[in-house]
Amino acid sequence: MYKIASKKTLNPTVTEMQIYAPLVAKKAKAGQFIILRVDEDGERIPLTIAGYNRENGTVKIIFQIVGSTTEKLSHKNEGDYIADFVGPLGKATETENIKSVCIIGGGVGCAIALPVAEEFKALGAEVTSIIGFRNKDLLILEDEFSACSDELIVMTDDGSYKRAGNVTMPLKEMLEAGKKFDMIIAIGPLVMMKFVSLAAKPFGVPLTVSMNPVMVDGTGMCGGCRISLVKDGVRTIKFACVDGPDFNGYEVDFDEAISRSRAYFDFERKAHEKTCNLFKGVN
């Protein structure tokens, strides 16, 4: 059992928790993830590590309430316990020989992008961060990004806060103006990462995206998290849990990934509704 050391609401659908898991905290690196179960009968879900404190033995997770399991998790409070918390899993984000990096986060994906930005800043790289949200009410982690970025650009789709538009707009402007990056890292919704890849490709800047498909065991055995990469017309299959979650954004078959991500949409919606009904009047 793993104790919830702290809990904080970031916006109406996004929650931050610190989980006491000293063995995971000891080994965790930016870009890796964990798999948890809320209770003994629960499903296994992957969540990217949003931070860690080796001294305190805690690991930070940030999640959006989108399904049954995240709904259950959101009803847990500080001092409560969850059944399983396994990790760190996956490969850490590559940071070697990168002196100037552009970090792009979309929505709750900013929770994944933040520790990556913090890691690059700690290594002395120049960090430009672009974070985007549908509207002001969904904004998270602005102060944290500001603290670790040499330049921070905040976008909202509806223009309700800072600049109106999507994250590809300032990226294209900077690249067209001659801004040089050793690497672009995009983390967020699949559609966002697809269009960031399309926007950056003409400029030839190396681009990494973080993939978070359906996952079960986290060891490469189930095949549920498979990702198709296409290079020079040759298609190869990789598994996000062991080969990723970071991949070359120019090689990812985003259309296939988007299609597969929708396979369980109706099931997840119904499961979420059922779980919400169970918690009516609770807390």
- pLDDT above 90 for 36: yes
Query: What φ, ψ does residue 101 adopt, rounded to 5°?
Result: -135, 145
Residue 171 belongs to what H/E stretch? Answer: helix 168-176
Counts for the chain of helices (H) and strands (E), in that order: 9, 16
pLDDT of residue 282: 57
CA-only gyration radius of the chain, Å: 18
- The average pLDDT across 129-143 equals 95
Q: What's the gap between Cα 87 and its chain centre?
A: 16
- Check: CB of residue 51 under 8 Å from CB of residue 62: no
Instruction: Indicate the fold that domain 100-261 takes in CATH.
Output: Rossmann fold (3.40.50)
pLDDT in tens, 71-101: 999 999 999 999 999 999 999 999 999 999 9
Domain with CATH 2.40.30.10 in the chain: 2-89
State which amino acid sits at residue 59.
Answer: V
Instruction: Give the position of tokens 């890292």.
Output: 185
pLDDT of residue 270: 64
pLDDT-derived band at 280 (thresholds 50, 70, 90) equals: low
pLDDT of residue 126: 97
pLDDT of residue 169: 96
- The average pLDDT across 162-167 equals 94
pLDDT in tens, 232-270: 999 999 999 899 999 999 999 999 999 887 766 665 666
Question: In angstroms, rounded to a whole number, what is the distance separating the alpha carbons of residues 18 and 20?
Answer: 7
Domain with CATH 3.40.50.80 in the chain: 100-261
pLDDT-derived band at 277 (thresholds 50, 70, 90) equals: low
- pLDDT above 90 for 220: no
- pLDDT above 90 for 26: yes
| Prior bond of 202 cis (ω within 30°) | no
* The CATH classification of domain 2-89, taken from the options 2.40.50.140, 1.25.40.10, 1.10.10.10, 2.40.30.10: 2.40.30.10
DSSP letters for 101-116 = EEEEEEGGGHHHHHHH
